[in-house]
Amino acid sequence: MRHNRKINHLGRTNTHREAMLSNMASSLIKHKRIFTTTAKAKALRKYVEPLITKSKEDTTHSRRIVFSQLQNKYAVTELFQEISVKIGNRPGGYTRIIKTGNRLGDNAAMCFIELVDYNENMLKDSSAKKTSRTRRSRKKSAVAATTAQVQEEEAKSE
């Protein structure tokens, strides 16, 4: 039975899994989007989101905690200087997983994992959707005006 076994081991030992997640988190921070399997992306989301939350507070202590996880000073610098400024007012949910189908060789489920505030296409789409929203229900005055116009057209045609 699997009682209280909640983390996905991803078929790896503990040290291999930690090293892989650290490397993937560094790549996500540097490139803002990476292509991987869905299982790895879900494990990476649980790994990287607390680090991004830590980066909101730029202190020596939080930098050391993040560095102990990432082991990459360039990724830590990018996280604290660029990413934390951009996501400063977001309360959580810093990453997005977009499923892309199955891999050709072994049929593994594949996806993109990306930082939410860095996809310009998604940001443009969300702003366009907000401006073009229309109401489905008509007001009574609008209904009365259209019926009056229909009656006038009928009277003219007769």
Sign of CA pseudo-dihedral 122, 128, 130, 136: negative
Whole domain around residue 111: which residue ranges?
Answer: 14-119
- Has residue 83 been placed in a domain? yes
- Has residue 142 been placed in a domain? no
- The C-alpha angle with vertex 47 and arms to 69 and 21, in degrees rounded to 5, equals 65
pLDDT for residue 79: 95
Number of domains in the chain: 1
Q: What is the CATH number of the domain that holds 96?
A: 3.90.1030.10
Q: What is the mean pLDDT of each run of 10 residues along the chain (158 residues)?
A: 90 96 96 96 96 95 96 95 91 95 96 90 67 62 68 72
pLDDT for residue 115: 94
- Has residue 149 been placed in a domain? no
- Has residue 146 been placed in a domain? no
Cα separation, 93 vs 108, whole angstroms: 25
Predicted TM-score (pTM) of the model is 0.75
pLDDT for residue 95: 95
Cα separation, 137 vs 84, whole angstroms: 42
